[in-house]
Amino acid sequence: MDFKLSEEQELIRENIRELVKKYLDPIAVEIDESSRYPAEVIEQLAAGGWMGMPYPVEYGGAGLDYVSYAMVIEEISRSCAATGFTVSCHTSLASGPIFNFGNEEQKQKYLVPLAKGQHIGAFAVTEPGAGTDVGAATTTATLDGDSYVLNGIKTFTSNGPVADTFVVFAFTDKSLGGKGMSAFIISKDNPGLKVGQHFYKMGIRASQTSEIILKDCRVPREDLLGKEGQGLQIAMSSFDHGRIGIAAQAVGITQAALDESISYSKQRVQFGKPISKNQAIQWMIADMATDIAAARFLYSYAAFLKDQKQPFSKEAAMAKVFAAEMSTRHTSKAVQIHGGYGYIKGQKVERLMRDAKITEIYEGTSEAQRMVIAGNLLR
């Protein structure tokens, strides 16, 4: 078994590092402080073919394997976790369902501009009363002639304020429970779809999040994604894919915390020597590096299984829960290593600690990941 990256994968990593260093590093602090969407960086990513990495060239993508895609999300997140998540959400949650469940007409109409980065995608499933319990959603879709009429409110919709294309979930038959949920593709120019309240978050602040309000939103029958009643399956499949990206994001955040901690501990002198000479600091750094390596192997293995067309739901959940929890733990240690300076606004480790927490929450909380893992083991 070879754990080394291929020459092509090493080149991909070098290329994304160069792009991130040139365009994202210089603005990472500013876009966090202002909660500004980094449109100029997204344009550069689109121009380089990074917005549709795992999709075939004939659909506007780059035709990369999922291991390479996850590795790129790690590298982007190492600079700015908000931008890493913007790309991950667009790629796995919005574009993924269309590629995996859409028909040829839908792929040509919606996936091609998404994969090329000409359009930005969003995924609208969460509601004020329905988070982990997706089946508690109340948004409805009623067939009226050749269109479905959708009514409801979605919340915490990542990329919502900047999206051109939305994958939206609603009940076509609530009496069937989860089997009555369906998925739809909706364009931002649909008059029945409005962007509601914008949310200003503790971390990943440059990632745009909002409510989506559907009021008598007429969606042509041909924009039903998959079949009626297939919505829950589509949502769960999308989360499986997305969790690999979130694990990679968490690894990128923690790798940045390790980089900062090593650099600072070598420079900070107390009691006549660099604090890196202190065993307490050395152990923090050793534990951080060990957990990063373990988390990286976990997400890479889940991505490998996906590339091999083998089941990967359990492995994706394992990667996410481990990577997310170790990221929250170790970014806090990075702040501890930096002492008072780590607690100052504008310091990278302060931002990293805020960014890390969300990886334990979105695309399924850590508790939900354990449910997925146990469900796979005990069935």
Three-class SS of 144-185: ECCEEEEEEEEEEEECHHHCCEEEEEEECCHHHHHHHEEEEE
CA distance 289 to 283: 10
Question: Which amino acid, one-letter code, is at 179?
Answer: K
Nearest to 12 by CA among 56, 55, 68, 57: 68
Catalytic residue among 74, 75, 315, 363: 363
Any catalytic annotation for residue 350? no
156-181 exposure pattern, b = at least 16 Cβ within 10 A, e = fewer: bbbbbbbbbbbbbbbbbeeeeeeebb
**The residue to which tokens 């041909």 are assigned:** 222
Between helix 313-338 and helix 279-307 the angle, nearest 10°, is: 160
Give me the sign of the Cα torsion angle 72, 355, 99, 105.
negative
Which token pair is 360? Answer: 């334990």
Q: What are 51's strand-pairing partners?
A: none
Which token pair is 217? Answer: 């939103």
Radius of gyration of the chain (CA): 21
Per the CB < 8 A criterion, the answer to whether 355 and 349 are in contact is no
Strands (E), the chain: 121-124, 140-144, 147-158, 165-171, 181-187, 193-198, 209-220, 224-225, 269-270, 273-274
Tell me which residues are annotated as active site: 363
